[in-house]
Structure 1
Amino acid sequence: MMKSSVLGYPRIGAEREWKKALEAFWAGKLDESEFHRQLQEIRLNHLRKQQEKGIDFIAVNDFSYYDHILDTSTMFGLIPKRFRYEGGKVPLSVYYGIARGTKDAAASEMTKWFNTNYHYIVPELGETSPVLTENRPLMAYREAKEKLGIEGRPVIVGPLTFLKLSKGYRISETDDWLGRLLPLYVQILQELASEGVQWVQIDEPILVTKLNADDLQRLKTIYETFAVSVPNLNIMLQTYFESVEHYNDIVALPVKGIGLDFVHGYSGNLSSIKALGFPADKVLGAGVIDGRGIWKAPLREKLALVEKLAEIVTTERLIVQTSCSLLHVPVSVKHETKLVSELKDALAFADEKLDELVLLAKAISQGAASITGELEECDRAIQALKLSGERNRSDIQHAVASISAQHPERSRPFSERHIAQQKKWQLPIFPTTTIGSFPQSPEVRKARQQWRKGEWNNEQYANFIREQIDIWIKLQEEIGLDVLVHGEFERTDMVEFFGEKLAGFVFTQNGWVQSYGSRCVKPPIIFGDVAFKGPMTVEETKYAQTQTKRPVKGMLTGPITIMNWSFVREDITREQIAYQLAYALRQEVEALEQAGIGMIQVDEPAVREGLPLKADDQAKYLAWAVRAFRIATCTVQDTTQIHTHMCYCEFHDMIHSIEAMDADVISIETSRSHGELIHSFELNTYKLGIGLGVYDIHSPRIPSVEEMTSMIERALRVLDPKLFWINPDCGLKTRGFEETIASLRNMVEATQIARSKHAQEPIANNR
């Protein structure tokens, strides 16, 4: 009988029960014992669901109280000294302090999990020696077996991946750190083996990236050590998100199984197996069901793929599974009661993907005839969406083809635009601004709900939004900011807002996924051709500008970010989708400019996360991503200042692409990385306007003037003061009123100190 496996299940729950429990605990509304009880109930429900669906290998220890990488760090006692951890089991106060910051200690850095929209907490090595604080995989295994009778497969982040994603140590210390961590991994595995665990899933997604000879030797050392230390434990070495590099080296490792992605890594992994075969002593975990996408799997194609693999590997040594954890998709389509059947029937969220796995396993074991009805139903759903009028708009397709064939560029280079813009705006040295949004109070959220439910008419809601704009325009002036924003009070989400106003999008009722911590997002679905229907942001921005003599920025989300933060159609390329979005946004940029808005911010925080994991594919992606941004922004006048924003990514290897976007000003997060990005500018000259975020808005702590002054001074050692802006590192929507005001006042005071120090300094031409 063919076996099925799931690499991980969404934590948040169908009704976001997990998120609600976390936030209630943080707010002091749940005591710790009740908090633990509620999370256990959620966790067991997830396991029970997979058990009832008929999944054979169910992952345990995939559940987290915040983030699985943070779980691994704290399991090994790798706690930064600033959190004053004294040993033993890590208390929740320390655990959440690392993730969110405390009054006295800054949070650890947060960055993207490979090329997804999930964020992990970056482990900080170097300050402490690792020690096993608790065997989390063992606890998860025991719970599943004792409570539900499930023989779970514990999941552990592999040593090489953990080290490669960590910070705080020199490359020369890698082997030393591996030597410290390896005995702890061995202890975990030995305790699991003693408990009677049959299979352990060790996640090594780093294996789909380029590794050097030293890393390959480390990989060999790790798994040979495991083979000697726990010879009777079956290890499934799991990879995902792409095809593996160094296939021969990986399949030669002494493990019982290898998990490969046959969705995003389809071509590379299939080619390797066809050309090089697969070891006769190993099980292949075939990731054939997409763990990141939301579309129904073409079951006939998937069945043909599994049959092809079975010819090479044999059915007995083959497991059908998800391509990665289902962490990246919503929980269930059954909660979507408002979608048209044409679309709903073509969707598959986490629970539906469980059904697809079980069907494939059944078809291989009993023959395709055993699922004839399901195959025909799948064919009908996919074909109906393919023929949809929304996917076949010739007017949009022709217009976008014409524009994308042109070379998008501003009429004059930045050096000339900057002079014209400075003459127009007369900004002081180190202009201050924010990224766009201000706190969305309970009153704001309530007003939006009343309007959406029809309890308020459009005029009532518009008047309320204007009142909020009035309040915050006045506050920004009082604080002393130079360039203002309207606050985005009418927006639920920076992607959803625009998707609701563009053709080609649809929205779910409960399609939530975890972005970081308790922050859940409901990505739009781009299912048809994207088209501009009319101005989206002009009314509020124009009104805000009438309330002040200082410049107000128009605020838009860029084409690549809208695409990367949406679930997108699969029948055309992502490049084509990006150009459709860029064409629509260009029309909005032009509408803002015609309304008298002379500064327009087109945010692209998600450019990095769409970067392919394979180096050979990255240059092409960056080229069309830059092209899409320029299509959206290139038609404005020289004096119209284009801003953009990026956050929580590593940019050192794409500085030149960022510069090629030709934005007049870019703001980039540096606060959580403690200024490490500045090192990129020590190595690369950047000649456009830039603002490095001087404080972390994802933490409730209020940064001191001294802290921000230090960040400013370090940046000014490598950046031209004439082009330097000062701002927070991201939007302020999730922050409270008082902390926002206090933090911005400190930011302006730090700016004034910097102005006093640098205003009269001669400016070196080689900065």
Structure 2
Amino acid sequence: MNTLLPTSIVGSLPKPSWLAQPEVLWSPWKLEGDALVEGKQDALRIAVQEQSRRGIDIVSDGEQTRQHFVTTFIEHLSGVDFENRQTVRIRDRYDASVPTVIGSVTRERPVFVDDAKFLRASTDRPIKWALPGPMTMVDTLYDAHYKSREKLALEFATILNQEAKELEAAGVDIIQFDEPSFNVFFDEVQDWGVAALERAAEGLRAETVVHICYGYGIKANTDWKATLGSQWRQYEESFPLLQRSSIDIVSLECQHSHVPMDLIEILRGKKIMLGAIDVADETIETPEEVADTLRKALEFVDADKLIPSTNCGMAPFPRDVAFEKLSALSAGTNILREELAVAQPSLVS
């Protein structure tokens, strides 16, 4: 697309209260059967309309048709038992009851392709679809079959690649892989994490994104952040590897975080999807705050490679807060576009 500083969101938007309980992760559906299918499509339609109305250039589904960014994909795979659950430590931070891998994992049918086709038919703008990354999928399960995180991740990567190619064929312009685990398991990222990610993205013509964040604004994550000190330098571990990888875009959080902005320099040459909206605080950013974050980033990334975005998903927020934050993102981006039009007119001609 030709828009300078195209805006986007990372992942989830809050669901309507008639579809699922607001401000809760893994919230059960309030509808069933055909009514649920219709309700999900209505919610997706609203998410598209709100993004468009509030100036978001690259539109996504807001994860309206899934309960969770990882487990909804896993639910559709063979070899995973959701009745046989085990408690595991997720992201080395909190305990959760998760399904068990009991046999070879396979994808017998597309998971999100019909939803992606519906999204494609709902907007003329470029569309982005998020999938869980292989390492983060492994970290959200109990493995009683492969007994190897690496083997399971590579199996998942092959499955993700099948899904991604069908999403591309359905008209998806950008495919995002969510890998919050990259901020935790540094040895594994180096040993096999990036290789698994590249396998998931292999052969795609659509642009690819890896999103690495510090998590939703839930207590387990905010408590963890409080232990990380005055500078969060976790990205220093994965960025050099990703700079050399085949992934086109790296998505990271910056707004109100302790991530040193100059770490983006490590990624020079890649496109950067920069989190300029905080998802751990309901305070609405002012347009000038957003513009200031983006302005600082331009020291380390060229303007034609910068994609203003949110830090992470906004599912736990009240809907009005999330939508107002989208407006702030686009308003702040417009401030910077106008500045660049004066300073570097060739960029916007």
Give TM-score, length-normalised by structure 2.
0.84
2:6 equivalent in structure 1:
431
85, 103, 126: which one aligns with 1:528: 103
| 4+ long deviations beyond 6 Å | 512-516
Counting only pairs closer than 5 Å after superposition, residues 335-354 of structure 1 correspond to structure 2 as none
Range 662-671 or range 543-552, more displaced: 662-671
442, 449, 460: which one aligns with 2:29: 449
Distance 1:519 1:735, change over 3 A: farther
1:607 is displaced (CA, Å) by 1.8
Q: Deviations over 1:616-648 (max 9, x none)?
A: xx3x751421111111111112xx111221102
199, 212, 220: which one aligns with 1:646: 212
Q: Does 1:633 align with 2:201?
A: yes
Distance 1:756 1:560, change over 3 A: same
Counting only pairs closer than 5 Å after superposition, residues 569-588 of structure 1 correspond to structure 2 as 569=144, 571-588=146-163
Counting only pairs closer than 5 Å after superposition, residues 11-90 of structure 1 correspond to structure 2 as none
C-alpha distance in structure 2 between counterparts of 1:677 and 1:547, whole Å: 38
1:266 equivalent in structure 2:
none
1:711 equivalent in structure 2:
293
What stretches of structure 2 of length at least 5 have no aligned partner?
22-26, 215-231
2:318 equivalent in structure 1:
736
3-state SS in 2 of match to 1:644: strand
1:726 equivalent in structure 2:
308
8 Å contact from structure 2 (residues 70, 131) kept in 1: no
3-state SS in 2 of match to 1:555: strand
Write 1 or 2 for the structure with the bigger share of helix: 1
Q: Deviations over 1:69-98 (max 9, x none)?
A: xxxxxxxxxxxxxxxxxxxxxxxxxxxxxx
Q: Which structure would you say has the larger Rg? A: 1
Amino acid of the structure 2 residue aligned with 1:729: N
1:670 is displaced (CA, Å) by 1.7
Amino acid of the structure 1 residue aligned with 2:15: Q
Q: Does 1:671 align with 2:255?
A: yes
582, 599, 607: which one aligns with 2:182: 607
1:717 is displaced (CA, Å) by 1.2
Counting only pairs closer than 5 Å after superposition, residues 681-700 of structure 1 correspond to structure 2 as 681-682=264-265, 684-700=266-282
8 Å contact from structure 2 (residues 7, 307) kept in 1: yes
1:87 equivalent in structure 2:
none
C-alpha distance in structure 2 between counterparts of 1:723 and 1:590, whole Å: 24
1:511 is displaced (CA, Å) by 5.5
3-state SS in 1 of match to 2:66: coil
Amino acid of the structure 1 residue aligned with 2:207: Q
Q: Does 1:751 align with 2:341?
A: no
Write 1 or 2 for the structure with the bigger share of strand: 2
C-alpha distance in structure 1 between counterparts of 2:108 and 2:237, whole Å: 37
C-alpha distance in structure 2 between counterparts of 1:571 and 1:601, whole Å: 26
1:661 equivalent in structure 2:
245
8 Å contact from structure 2 (residues 189, 238) kept in 1: no
1:570 is displaced (CA, Å) by 6.8
Aligned-pair identity in percent equals: 25
Q: Deviations over 1:552-580 (max 9, x none)?
A: 21221111111123223375322111110
C-alpha distance in structure 2 between counterparts of 1:441 and 1:522, whole Å: 26
3-state SS in 2 of match to 1:588: helix
1:551 equivalent in structure 2:
126
C-alpha distance in structure 1 between counterparts of 2:139 and 2:284, whole Å: 31
1:659 is displaced (CA, Å) by 1.9
3-state SS in 2 of match to 1:759: helix
Distance 1:511 1:540, change over 3 A: same
Q: Deviations over 1:415-464 (max 9, x none)?
A: xxxxxxxxxx33x111100012110343222695345xxxx22x221111
8 Å contact from structure 1 (residues 557, 602) kept in 2: yes
Counting only pairs closer than 5 Å after superposition, residues 184-195 of structure 1 correspond to structure 2 as none
457, 461, 472: which one aligns with 2:36: 461
1:485 is displaced (CA, Å) by 0.6
Q: Deviations over 1:446-490 (max 9, x none)?
A: 695345xxxx22x22111111111111111111011000112122
8 Å contact from structure 1 (residues 432, 481) kept in 2: yes
RMSD: 2.6
8 Å contact from structure 2 (residues 182, 189) kept in 1: no
Counting only pairs closer than 5 Å after superposition, residues 294-443 of structure 1 correspond to structure 2 as 425-426=1-2, 428-443=3-18
Amino acid of the structure 1 residue aligned with 2:142: F
8 Å contact from structure 1 (residues 448, 490) kept in 2: no
C-alpha distance in structure 2 between counterparts of 1:440 and 1:513, whole Å: 27
3-state SS in 2 of match to 1:726: strand
Q: Deviations over 1:372-402 (max 9, x none)?
A: xxxxxxxxxxxxxxxxxxxxxxxxxxxxxxx
3-state SS in 2 of match to 1:691: strand
C-alpha distance in structure 2 between counterparts of 1:759 and 1:564, whole Å: 45
C-alpha distance in structure 1 between counterparts of 2:191 and 2:211, whole Å: 18
Amino acid of the structure 2 residue aligned with 1:732: M
- Name which structure has the greater RCO, CA cutoff 8 Å, separation 6+: 2
3-state SS in 1 of match to 2:237: coil
Amino acid of the structure 2 residue aligned with 1:654: S
Counting only pairs closer than 5 Å after superposition, residues 146-185 of structure 1 correspond to structure 2 as none
C-alpha distance in structure 2 between counterparts of 1:512 and 1:701, whole Å: 34
Amino acid of the structure 1 residue aligned with 2:269: K
Amino acid of the structure 1 residue aligned with 2:252: I
C-alpha distance in structure 2 between counterparts of 1:739 and 1:656, whole Å: 35
C-alpha distance in structure 2 between counterparts of 1:450 and 1:477, whole Å: 27
Amino acid of the structure 2 residue aligned with 1:661: S
C-alpha distance in structure 2 between counterparts of 1:528 and 1:691, whole Å: 37
3-state SS in 2 of match to 1:507: strand
